[in-house]
Structure 1
Amino acid sequence: MDRRVDLRPAEHEAPPEHCGRPGVPGSSGRSGLPGLSGEAPGEAYAVSAEFYDLLHARAYHRHALALAAPAAAARLGIVEVGAGTGLVTGVLIGASNVPVHAVEPSPAMRTVLLSRLHPPVGGSAGERVTVHACSALDLSLDGPADLAVCLRLVPCLPPVERRALWRVLAGLLVPGGLLFLDRPPSGVPAQPVRRGLGQVRLGLDTYHGLLTQCAEDGRIRYDYSYLVCRQGRVLRQARESFLLWPLPRRELGRELAAAGLILEDDLTADVLRARRGA
């Protein structure tokens, strides 16, 4: 008997865009810590990577377009922390003429990233990109950078790691260098929030995604559910859960300032801008 599904969000549910990319379970996963589901180090995104470009690309596209101009203005180098599957990386490469360093520790996400970058995007432009299979906290560069991009990552870090990240980025950037990050959630939801991630048709199959957010011990639990359906029948389903830490803007500003980064006017409604001091 066919099991028919409807993953459309209820009419009263708002479609928040914060951290559309799943965070790393239990901690960043970018420093090798296990996650909610007991993943071994490096296994974060093992479930979500398959569905990522299909169901999460739209939110990334908006951010990528906003970052094209800052990338074009870069004169030394660009660091993208949490490059994921490369949805923003390609824009950073195409808009710039400087070396681009894409940092992605998750093997599952990095597999898609490398497939996207080779053959080289834009011909010789691919010669300027280097993929770093390490945590941002372990990153070491040979040359300077004047632009850093950090999307869909900051809320996924425990506070100690988050503050360490600011220090690392401040050390990588030259004085006056810019950091762009998406706006983190300022608090936990008062009640569970559900929203659909859309659906994509490939041949006979339709891919669905659903996100449920709820408060858990002062953090936000993100539960992602993915379904693959054929003519209304569920062929398979997968789930992955993550924990995020809320971060009000004032606290974010204090943390950045302590690391030598000054929070400036927003680039867009969703993307924040900070500058390394002299």
Structure 2
Amino acid sequence: MSQTSPGDRVDEALADSGLPTPDVVIEPDADRLARSVASALVARLAAAQAVHGTASVVVTGGGIGTAVLERVAELAAEPEHAVVDWAAVDVWWGDERFVPVDHPDRNELGAREALLGKVPLDPERVHPIPSSDAGFDEPEEAAAWYAEQLAAAAGDGETLPRIDVLMLGMGAEGHVASIFPDSPAARDERPVVAVRDCPKPPPTRVSLGFSALAAAEEVWLLVSGEAKADAVAQALGGASPLEIPAAGARGKQATRWLLDTAAASKLPRE
């Protein structure tokens, strides 16, 4: 009798999901990309609040992710763009480095400097992944705690809350969050996973898993630079999430690939 691995189940779930075809938006350069995404994010959060009264976003680190948050902060300071009630926005993280809270590698630190410290968020609605000095000896403990926080925010016995927009960067080899190609995290079905021996420093991390990424209403992949063009083309060309994890990042309502020209340079020309 044949056996099905977790990785096979990920592939099958994507094939049978009936999810919408990903949208691809291409901007001339990284700066234009960051500004475009920032405007779209403000509009999307405002729209979510108009329907639900609140909005929720998963933020990402990296150069383009931080640039987007900086542009959002600029928009928030302009009266004509003050359309988001920041006190009613929940902020989560897609992944985090398991290092001390003030370590420069922390995604949380970059997000707070770029945006979170500049808008009037409710501290109770900001949900950072624990640092290594927050009372958790092992990343597995931090991952379990973060999964509990997500479930508590969801309520009604659900595992994950409503996430309106989940933003992800992508590495040159196709990783998203801290899910790297052919890694244990790429085969893990839990919503939050500990990552050890990561091929990119720092080696120990905590990351949302594929099941959490797939629970978001919209997944936005923010990618800039020619070094990532091959992985973009493979992900959009049907690669396995085990080989190119970005291919497995799919939202329930929409998946948007937001690229600059360099990152899109290997896509087929129509």
TM-score range, shorter chain: 0.3 to 0.5
Higher strand proportion: 1
TM-score (norm: length of structure 1): 0.40
Q: If you compute each CA radius of gyration, which structure gives the higher value, 1 or 2?
A: 1
Higher helix proportion: 2
TM-score (norm: length of structure 2): 0.41
